């Protein structure tokens, strides 16, 4: 059964983490800014228990869909904290990009994430860039491609080349084309297919994010 807004909000206070997570996922899907304050409160409470990283992930993603520019400093503070649950960093990168843009297609939040040299923080940021189809200026595109190329063969983080390849469908220039041509010849099929689509100006269809 699909949760209503109020049912999802009520689950944020449930004693069972899986139920809180279900509420967070629903609020993320609803993307209702009137729920941001309750999502933020629930996140701060959830962060006290390191065991519930999956729920923390969903709450951060929900805040990224419901919050505002004022939430970015909290997210950056969290991003600078060491943690073993690295998927939380992916959510933080995603949410920082979604909420941190001062103007349309602002590359500053993404570049901040790349500078922290935390791979899954960067991965989440680049995922948001691709999903939002952000059109960056050439200098920012170069920074993204520098990062992607430096980590191109890191098989422990397989999507570090994938999301820039997807995002590049909206970018132009010889540097972009050279990067995509290289990616289109990669042995990893999902990267090769994304790059081939991007070379033809197409974003992939049906991309899902946890």
Going by C-alpha positions, the residue among 68, 133, 61 that lies closest to residue 91 is 61
Q: How confident is the model at residue 157 (pLDDT cuts 50, 70, 90)?
A: low
> Is residue 156's pLDDT more than 60?
no
CA-to-CA distance for 184 and 16, rounded, in angstroms?
45
Mean pLDDT of the residues in the chain: 94
- pLDDT tens digits, 162-203: 999 999 999 999 999 999 999 999 888 999 999 999 999 999
Q: What is the largest CA-CA distance in the chain?
A: 54
Distance CA 83, CA 89 (A): 8
Give the separation between CA 25 and CA 63, rounded to whole angstroms. Answer: 10
Q: Report the alpha-carbon angle 73-47-39, nearest 5.
A: 65
Residue 53 has pLDDT above 80, yes or no: yes
pLDDT, mean of residues 88-109:
97
Q: What is the pTM of this model?
A: 0.94
pLDDT of residue 196: 97
């Amino acid at each position: 059964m699909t949760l209503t807004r109020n049912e999802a909000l009520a689950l944020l206070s449930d004693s069972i983490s899986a139920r809180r997570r279900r509420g967070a996922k629903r609020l993320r899907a609803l993307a209702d800014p009137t729920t941001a304050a309750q999502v933020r409160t629930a996140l701060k409470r959830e962060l006290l228990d390191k065991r519930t990283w999956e729920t923390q992930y969903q709450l951060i993603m929900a805040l990224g869909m419901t919050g505002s520019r004022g939430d970015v400093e909290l997210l950056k503070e969290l991003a600078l904290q060491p943690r073993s649950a690295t998927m939380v960093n992916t959510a933080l990168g995603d949410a920082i990009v979604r909420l941190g843009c001062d103007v349309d297609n602002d590359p500053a939040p993404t570049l901040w994430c790349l500078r922290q040299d935390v791979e899954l923080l960067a991965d989440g940021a680049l995922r948001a860039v691709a999903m939002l189809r952000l059109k960056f200026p050439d200098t920012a595109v170069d920074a993204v491609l520098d990062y992607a190329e430096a980590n191109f063969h890191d098989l422990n983080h397989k999507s570090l080349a994938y999301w820039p390849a997807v995002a590049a469908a909206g970018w132009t220039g010889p540097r972009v084309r050279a990067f995509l041509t290289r990616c289109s010849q990669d042995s990893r099929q999902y990267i090769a297919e994304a790059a081939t689509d991007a070379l033809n100006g197409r974003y992939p269809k049906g991309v899902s994010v946890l």
